[in-house]
Structure 1
Amino acid sequence: MRWIPRGLIAVALALGVVVPGSAPAAGAATELIVNGGFATSTANWWGTGNTPISVDAGQLKAVVPGGTANKWDAMIGQKAPAFPIKQNHRYLLSFDARVSAPRTLQTTVQLNTAPYTAPLNKAFAVGTKKQRFAFAFTSSLETTQAEFTIQLGGLAGGGYTLWLDNVSLLDLHGTPAGNPVALTSGFYVDPQSNPKQWVGNNPGPKATTINNALAGKPMARWFGGWNTNLADDINLYAGAADAADKLPVLVAYNLPGRDACGGHSSGGAAGEEAYKEWIQTFAAAIGIRPALVVLEPDSIGDFHCIKETKDKEARVRMLAYALQTLKDFAPNTWTYADATNKGWAEEIGVPELAARLNSIGVANAHGLATNVSNYYGTAETVAFANDLAGRLGKPFIVDTSRNGNGASTTWCNPTGRKLGATAQPGGGAEMLLWIKVPGDSDGSCGDSTTEAGHFDPDLALKLINNP
């Protein structure tokens, strides 16, 4: 990881590089797993007598028998040496796994003797392709004799083989909150963004224009129910950014009943408990890597479109849980709570917006995200955001992905829009970022007939070419 010395600040700003606020924080999480990479052996690992383990191409291979009655009748794990688990400490467990035939398995972090008290006891569905799994938990157990297990038995379908790799169990206690900007050397350019994928699949003059002006720039990646393996998708994205020493921007967008007013992006998790599980996986998959997260666009602004009081109350609880979870389990992440836009601020009133943000525990956020997926110009956004942020004692960022020509009378793919500034400090905001992916449609409306969240190259060209 790198940070920019003060003597280079002027040069960095001239190049559009984000300048960190400080050097990286000291301190690190404590790793509790020994030999989680299986480079040459399975030392420190065990399998029950009916489940032999071996090394196979740098992975642990476990041959699991069929016909067992209980989950724990076939197991693998690590308990030698036993490791301590501390009450109220926060932990991140992660590993890669695949099987010869799809199975739903159980993983635990537990006391290694009776009564086998388990502060983590989770089922997970694993397939034939290697996937990343990530789990976050706060321990209710205090012991020096803990173990990690995967329970493999009690399943229909006969015997099968499991491959396991890159096992990690981190104790986050004492890990300081880091500055993700200071820990990286600029923003990550997503090589799998919607516009980048379109460019790769459609070579020609249009693709060259879109790539040069848009697809080659830093922008956020959105995560929601369309991610069939959330931990794996975040791991691939944040891991690639971390390997490149760059800062990724992620958007969490999976609240039940999202886009309650517009309706074009409706959907979300099946309910409150499903959302809490989802956001916990989201945070655990980022883990200790540097990141920026924009939390749930529209979630504060569209309260008036949620009909039932109980649904509004559930939304407040879910957002509060999300902010607390990201703070607890992603210590090098700056989370920005969505704070709507100038239009909604005028309609709702800044005092009411501040009250809503306080109700979700905005103190647990690093800052506020303004103008997400909207078109208000930077100067007019900063004017309202300064008022709101001043009431809450928080910095703010501005989504400039489509605000180059300022506001419009409509929000859904309006005509005459233009790209704004990207990935830089400016104008009173902490950062100006492309949060909405430029060229992604708002829905079948205005200047696009493309489904919401899908890339429309003609819309992108208008953003590039409009005067």
Structure 2
Amino acid sequence: MRRKLAIVSIAAVAATGGAIAVMQPASAATGCSVKYTVTNQWPGGFGASVELTNTGDALTSWNIGWDFVAGQGIQQMWSAVPTVSGLHVTAKNESYNGAVPAGGKVSFGFNGTWTTANPVPGAFTLNGAACNGGTTANQAPSVSLTSPAAGASFTAPATVAIAANASDADGTIAKVEFYNGSTLLGTDTSAPYAFSWTGVAAGTYSVTAKAYDNAGLSTASTAVPVTVTAGGGTGAPSVALTSPTAGSSFTAPATVALAATASDSDGTVAKVDFYNGTTLLGTDTSAPYTWSWTGVAAGSYTVSAKATDNAGNSTSSSGTAITVTSGTSTPDTHVDNPYVGAKGYVNADWSTKAAAEPGGSKIAGTSTAIWIDRIAAIAGSSSSKGVREHLDAALAQAAGGVPVVVQFVVYDLPNRDCAALASNGELKVKENGLARYKSEFIDPIAAIMTDAKYNSLRIVNVVEDDSLPNLVTNLGIANCAEANTSGAYVQGIQYALNKLHKANIYNYLDIGHHAWLGWDSNFGPAVTLLANTVKGTTAGFNSVDGFISNTANYSSLTEPYFTVNTQVGGNTIRQSKWVDWNMYVDELSFTQAFRNALVTAGFPATLGMLIDTSRNGWGGTARPAGPSTSTDVNTFVNTSRIDRRIHAGNWCNQSGAGMGERPRATPATGIDAYVWIKPPGESDGSSTAISNDEGKGFDRMCDPTYTGNTLNGNNLTGALPGAPISGAWFSAQFQQLMTNAYPAL
């Protein structure tokens, strides 16, 4: 079974799952206590969990009731069925979680709304009887900005003093974070909570504070608008926007040609930046100063130009109003390729770490995927955003009318990655894993992603890496056999596709990589399994937009110095130890061939493919500069190949790997985009058992001293033994990927 054992992602913390039901017989003794937790809170909305402890007789069904006391409401609930009458809420069990033994617990979660206050309900009932065990509560903290005042104005380069009040009724404030939009400015851990934001350029900003208590619960303040005007000074350049003219109208998706004239009486113009409002569209460093703004959606915009001279003095032109009217495609319409005419969402959780590395600013603005690899990752934590927080941040980045693509990895099937160790998941088939996957994982994700608030975003889901290919190659492994006979993989993926099927959501399934499914004995059966799985969904072939390769591996995009048809000394290179009779030698040829086979199997001709190029650059000093002159087939292949691993199936933190092609749309025939799904610098696993909250498990394939096995050859390097998952380890891995990047940074 020629395959890698799987990738493992970053993780996050927080989320709830739960339960509910019907009425108990009157003869049963009823007793209960309730724990009510406001998990996070923002202006107008909040998330909460309810945990009930059954202190009476065993239950076969249940309903839990309470009254909101300040006009709160329910938006959506999971692991329970809500009924709302005025301020009264009844949460009733689902069909699968009504049984609660004496002394047992059941829990569920919901998202709600609030206006002036969000106090904890005072009393709860179980099946109509008052809970006699009392109520405990964990309430999100309160926070408000005290400075700057709304509408405050400063002169660039400005110093903006930011301050907030924060308190927690049931604990202690751990920290207060200060933001401009979704960008973290700074953190204070003790009152009075304050931050000095220095060197702020001219523009309009939105400042907020976010407080966290010691339990990790958080609340965001109402945003405060702040304006910074251009400063004075002599020698500033002059600039005028010459195109488009005021009142110009375009049809979406529009291409708007921007042009400006600029001069400096006492120096040289260094650059001209073009803006939509405060959003930078692009920069030109030489006259004539121009920028082509493409894929602009319907809306009204104000564009301007800003000239900066060599001394750093700058001047902005007056804003020019333009209109883009509805055309054949809008951001919330399902388009053939979501990456065309769009920009990628930049995940600040990863970007901040990347920017802190030497040279990291070169790629810190690159779009990478968010991994939802545990139930806790849905809500997020104080150190990493949850799904809703990422989508809200993407809306903020969408300013300017260009659609934003937000990429998620939906990755928590029961018996996940059944042939691996480091990336095994939290749910097990034999522990009701499929039901939990549906109710505690997919349902909450779908409730957030299908919120109409996010209709303007293009949400791309990479659905369950390392899943269906295992059912082709690894049924000799007990966990994989169980995933197959139980139907957990197929049914789980079908359920996910059904719930995540919406006009602005794009789903891509995993096809491993060429060194896993590239053999003819694996290729055909994989195509058949994927086709049958997708046909079983409600929307059939239309439930997916395409497939993705290479997320769980490092295979080269192309091998420039030989193909699968190359002959050496009268022998095909397929017989070399490296190729090992595979039908493909790189990811591009494999992915294009797999796409053709899927179309033949019934998928539409519009089917698109993605290739993860985040770590398959294989640049650096070890990269061959040309083909070998040897007539020995093994020597020729080993000397000519740019992929420097000892075996094409090796996967864990490989030495010599580098960042590959930068994300871009339509790079090759049949390929929707090259993407960075695995964020560079993050570990696949650990070489020893390491305590962490990021889901990194132990696997010998991650040990640099491991000599390999019959499947994967010899590993070259793994996670630093005993090292933490982030910090120094991230830096070491990130720097290696930058050093070996191809094309070079």
TM range (shorter): 0.5 to 0.7
| 1:221 and 1:249 in contact (8 A); partners too | yes
Inter-partner Cα distance in structure 1 for 2:122 and 2:136: 14
| 1:342 and 1:384 in contact (8 A); partners too | yes
Inter-partner Cα distance in structure 2 for 1:453 and 1:355: 38
Map 1:108-147; keep pairs closer than 5 Å.
108-109=82-83
| 1:448 and 1:459 in contact (8 A); partners too | no
Inter-partner Cα distance in structure 2 for 1:161 and 1:376: 48
* Letter in structure 1 aligned against 2:658: K
Distance apart, 1:447 and its partner CA: 2.8
Residue 219 of structure 1, aligned match among 358, 368, 380:
368
Deviates more, 1:441-450 or 1:382-391: 441-450
Map 1:407-426; keep pairs closer than 5 Å.
407=643, 408=645, 409=647, 410-425=650-665, 426=667
Q: Tell me what 1:190 maps to.
A: 347
| 1:369 and 1:396 in contact (8 A); partners too | yes
Distance apart, 1:412 and its partner CA: 1.8
Inter-partner Cα distance in structure 1 for 2:422 and 2:83: 42
Residue 324 of structure 1, aligned match among 477, 498, 504:
498
CA separation of 1:257 and 1:72: change in aligned 2, threshold 3 A: closer
| 2:76 and 2:112 in contact (8 A); partners too | yes
Secondary structure of the corresponding residue to residue 408 of structure 2: strand
Unaligned runs of 5+ residues in structure 1 are: 1-55, 62-68, 81-91, 96-103, 135-149, 167-174, 201-206
> TM-score scaled to structure 2, two decimals?
0.41
Instruction: Using the aligned pairs only, state the percent identity.
Output: 20
| 2:345 and 2:405 in contact (8 A); partners too | yes
CA separation of 1:255 and 1:225: change in aligned 2, threshold 3 A: same
| 2:354 and 2:361 in contact (8 A); partners too | no
Inter-partner Cα distance in structure 2 for 1:368 and 1:452: 33
Distance apart, 1:189 and its partner CA: 1.1
Distance apart, 1:415 and its partner CA: 1.8
| 2:64 and 2:92 in contact (8 A); partners too | no
Residue 302 of structure 1, aligned match among 459, 466, 470:
470
Q: Deviations over 1:40-80 (max 9, x none)?
A: xxxxxxxxxxxxxxxx996599xxxxxxx973353579999
Map 1:381-400; keep pairs closer than 5 Å.
381-392=587-598, 393=603, 394-400=607-613
Q: Tell me what 1:238 maps to.
A: 391
Inter-partner Cα distance in structure 1 for 2:615 and 2:512: 15
Map 1:350-365; keep pairs closer than 5 Å.
350-361=523-534, 363=541, 364-365=543-544
Distance apart, 1:108 and its partner CA: 1.4
Inter-partner Cα distance in structure 2 for 1:264 and 1:337: 21
* Letter in structure 2 aligned against 1:434: W
Residue 459 of structure 1, aligned match among 723, 729, 733:
733
CA separation of 1:384 and 1:185: change in aligned 2, threshold 3 A: closer
Secondary structure of the corresponding residue to residue 247 of structure 1: strand
* Letter in structure 1 aligned against 2:660: G
Secondary structure of the corresponding residue to residue 340 of structure 1: coil
Q: Tell me what 1:153 maps to.
A: 124
Map 1:64-103; keep pairs closer than 5 Å.
71-72=64-65, 74-75=67-68, 93-94=75-76
* Letter in structure 2 aligned against 1:262: A
* Letter in structure 2 aligned against 1:378: L
* Letter in structure 1 aligned against 2:517: A
Q: Tell me what 1:279 maps to.
A: 442
Is 1:342 paired with 2:514?
yes
Q: Tell me what 2:427 maps to.
A: 269
Inter-partner Cα distance in structure 1 for 2:504 and 2:111: 20
Secondary structure of the corresponding residue to residue 506 of structure 2: strand
Residue 680 of structure 2, aligned match among 428, 438, 441:
438
Inter-partner Cα distance in structure 1 for 2:532 and 2:663: 30
Q: Deviations over 1:399-431 (max 9, x none)?
A: 000111254312222222111112202122110
| 1:377 and 1:403 in contact (8 A); partners too | yes
Q: Give the RMSD, CA atoms, in angstroms.
A: 4.3
| 1:72 and 1:153 in contact (8 A); partners too | yes
> TM-score scaled to structure 1, two decimals?
0.63
* Letter in structure 2 aligned against 1:108: P
Distance apart, 1:214 and its partner CA: 3.6
* Letter in structure 1 aligned against 2:447: A
* Letter in structure 2 aligned against 1:192: D
Inter-partner Cα distance in structure 2 for 1:119 and 1:457: 47
| 2:683 and 2:730 in contact (8 A); partners too | yes
| 1:238 and 1:248 in contact (8 A); partners too | yes
Q: Which structure has more strand as a fraction of its residues?
A: 2
* Letter in structure 1 aligned against 2:593: D
Distance apart, 1:316 and its partner CA: 1.2
Q: Which structure has more helix as a fraction of its residues?
A: 1
* Letter in structure 2 aligned against 1:456: F
Distance apart, 1:343 and its partner CA: 0.8
CA separation of 1:152 and 1:220: change in aligned 2, threshold 3 A: farther
CA separation of 1:398 and 1:151: change in aligned 2, threshold 3 A: farther
| 2:123 and 2:135 in contact (8 A); partners too | no
Distance apart, 1:311 and its partner CA: 2.1
* Letter in structure 2 aligned against 1:282: I
Q: Tell me what 1:257 maps to.
A: 415
Distance apart, 1:183 and its partner CA: 9.7
CA separation of 1:318 and 1:118: change in aligned 2, threshold 3 A: same
Is 1:314 paired with 2:476?
no
* Letter in structure 2 aligned against 1:369: I
Inter-partner Cα distance in structure 2 for 1:151 and 1:324: 39
Inter-partner Cα distance in structure 2 for 1:300 and 1:438: 25
Q: Tell me what 2:358 maps to.
A: 208
* Letter in structure 1 aligned against 2:522: G
Inter-partner Cα distance in structure 1 for 2:363 and 2:527: 34
Highest RCO, 1 vs 2 (Cα 8 Å, sep ≥ 6): 1
| 1:397 and 1:431 in contact (8 A); partners too | yes
Inter-partner Cα distance in structure 1 for 2:615 and 2:498: 31
Inter-partner Cα distance in structure 2 for 1:188 and 1:221: 10
Unaligned runs of 5+ residues in structure 2 are: 1-40, 47-55, 57-62, 98-105, 114-120, 126-130, 143-218, 221-330, 399-403, 536-540, 559-585, 619-641, 688-701, 703-715
CA separation of 1:441 and 1:151: change in aligned 2, threshold 3 A: same
| 1:366 and 1:395 in contact (8 A); partners too | yes
* Letter in structure 1 aligned against 2:82: T
| 1:442 and 1:453 in contact (8 A); partners too | no
| 2:414 and 2:488 in contact (8 A); partners too | no
Q: Tell me what 1:374 maps to.
A: 553
* Letter in structure 1 aligned against 2:739: N
